[in-house]
Amino acid sequence: MKGQKRSANDIHAALTDDILHEILLRLPEKSVFSFILVSKRWLRVICSSSFRKDYHARWRINFHLLGFFVCNHLYLGRSKHGIRRPPSERALHLLSTCEEGDNLLVSGIPKQLGYFIDSSNGLLLFGRHPMTYSVWNPITKQLCRLPQPQQYYKSLCIAFFSVTEECFDDIIHYKVIRARCDCRRDEVNTVSIETFSSVTGTWKHYTLTCSSTFALRPWAVATVISGVIYWFATQGNLAIYDPRLGDRRIVLLKLPDGKISQDYDECVLGEAPDGLLQYGQSSTSGMEIWVLAREGNSFSSNLQSQNRWNLRYKLSFKAMWKQNPDCAKNSKEAQILSFLPQNSEYVFIRAGWNIFLFHLKSRRLTLIPYLGRDSSIQWDDSQVMPYFRPSWPHSCLCP
């Protein structure tokens, strides 16, 4: 027995951190997570930022749904004499879908930070437009109150995203971009933006130029894929900005025209597993989903000729309810709610206060149970946004 124990200890000692790192990279996520119980050393290796980065480069990232934030557009960027939120209505609504979501509510911290704006890689952006913003990391409990922006925008839209290439340590770095929405009668081809970087801790002002006249849609939140920012613009356009190119320009792309969803009420953007852009829109009749097929690694001024929208899915809501009679009992008018992160198999659909997970291939609906609904939520004036967190363990043993 002593010889066997000594042999096991020798094998464990021979496993250096580098060798252990390479072995664990070849195992599925479920197995890797079970090995955090082997020892403190294994826990430290698995939870390190270097291993997480290498593992995500090799395997697909999994995300865990914590709930849905409800954001009322009536109070965003409220003017001095605009609509005030009644005391009976909470500033922050989180429809929790799991214990972690419940703990997020119990912590009480989000309630002190204003309204929910957006999330990225588990980080949460709160604030009160147009000058007060905070970023909170629920895992590390770290709160950063951003300095006041230099520019005042009466109407604006936001982009919030983590910057993986700047993660020199275990801290998630991020950027916040405020873009002015100037829907004036006189046509303009420029837009003023301010960018905050957690690395520098400061705001920087830029002016972006487009080859055509345009205006961004007010109070919209951008979708960011591999550092490229996609904003909804007016007149059925998509405004695309890649800050990595350094040329400070915006390119416009016409959104596709639907058939059953031509007079659409809701439209959403998302990332497909292969990194392509997904676009979905819905009307009272049904929904349609497209994927943007790209040629080349960057966007150019002749975007329309180099890229095309491919219709991927079309659904009649009437047929959906007929195929899912149990879900149709208390349902109201349906609309597409959101894509799932890096997922082309499912979408969220909302019907009144009911939220469903819809499988595109089988056309099956699954009702998502949640806590936190109350009578003060104004569903018709609110946007419901899912909150996901990467399902990766965190340890205080990691520096």
Q: What is the pLDDT of residues 339-389, one digit of tens each?
A: 999 888 999 999 989 999 999 999 999 999 999 887 778 787 788 999 998
User: What percent of the chain is modeled with pLDDT above 70?
Assistant: 84
For the chain, the 3-state helix, strand and coil shares in percent, each to the nearest 5, are 20, 40, 40
Q: How would residue 168 be classed by pLDDT, with cut points 50, 70 and 90?
A: very low
* Cα–Cα separations (whole angstroms), residue 267 to 6, 19, 94, 246, 256: 63, 47, 22, 29, 11
Both tokens of 82, joined, read: 């605009």
Going by the DSSP 8-state scheme, the letter that residue 148 receives in this structure is P
b/e for 189-198, b at 16 or more Cβ within 10 A? eebebbbbbb
Largest pairwise CA distance in the chain: 86
Give phi and psi for 175, each to the nearest 5.
-135, 145
Place of tokens 């605009």: 82
Mean pLDDT of 102-109: 82
Q: What is the dihedral of CA 111, 112, 116, 120, to 10 degrees?
A: -110
Closest to 373 measured CA to CA, from 111, 68, 31 = 68
Q: Say which residue, 203 or 109, is predicted with more confidence.
A: 203
Q: For residue 232, what pLDDT is reported? A: 96
139-153 pLDDT per residue, tens? 888 899 999 999 999
Closest to 55 measured CA to CA, from 23, 19, 25, 21 = 25
Q: Say which residue, 377 or 169, is predicted with more confidence.
A: 377
Continuous segment of H or E residues that includes residue 377: none
Q: How would residue 169 be classed by pLDDT, with cut points 50, 70 and 90?
A: low
Mean pLDDT of 24-40: 81
Residue type (1 letter), 364: R
Q: For residue 32, what pLDDT is reported? A: 81
User: What percent of the chain is modeled with pLDDT above 90?
Assistant: 45
250 in Cβ contact with 209 (< 8 Å): yes
Both tokens of 50, joined, read: 């270097």
The SS3 of residue 45 is helix
Going by the DSSP 8-state scheme, the letter that residue 35 receives in this structure is G
Instruction: Give the C-alpha separation, 249 to 245, whole Å.
Output: 9
Mean pLDDT of 219-248: 92
168 in Cβ contact with 232 (< 8 Å): no
- The angle subtended at Cα 220 by Cα 217 and Cα 226, nearest 5°, is 110
Q: Is the pLDDT confidence value at 321 over 80?
A: yes
Closest to 266 measured CA to CA, from 350, 186, 331, 330 = 350
Q: For residue 299, what pLDDT is reported? A: 55
The SS3 of residue 263 is coil
* Alpha helices per DSSP H over the chain: 2-14, 17-24, 29-34, 40-47, 49-58, 99-107, 303-306, 317-323
Q: For residue 338, what pLDDT is reported? A: 96
Closest to 46 measured CA to CA, from 61, 64, 31 = 31
Q: What is the DSSP string of 173-231?
A: -EEEEEEE----SS---EEEEEEEETTTTEEEEEEEEESS---BPTT-B-EEETTEEEE
Q: Is the pLDDT confidence value at 128 over 90?
A: no
| CA-based R_g, the chain, Å | 23
Mean pLDDT of 10-23: 77
Instruction: For the beta carbon of residue 97, count every other beta carbon within 10 angstroms.
Output: 21
Q: Say which residue, 113 or 249, is predicted with more confidence.
A: 249
pTM flag (> 0.75): yes
Q: Which residues pair with 135 in a beta bridge?
A: 125, 144
Per-chain mean pLDDT for the chain: 84
Instruction: Give the C-alpha separation, 2 to 9, whole Å.
Output: 11
* Cα–Cα separations (whole angstroms), residue 281 to 49, 177, 260, 341, 382: 37, 25, 10, 17, 17
Q: Is the pLDDT confidence value at 82 over 80?
A: no
Instruction: Give the C-alpha separation, 399 to 160, whole Å.
Output: 25
Residue type (1 letter), 367: L
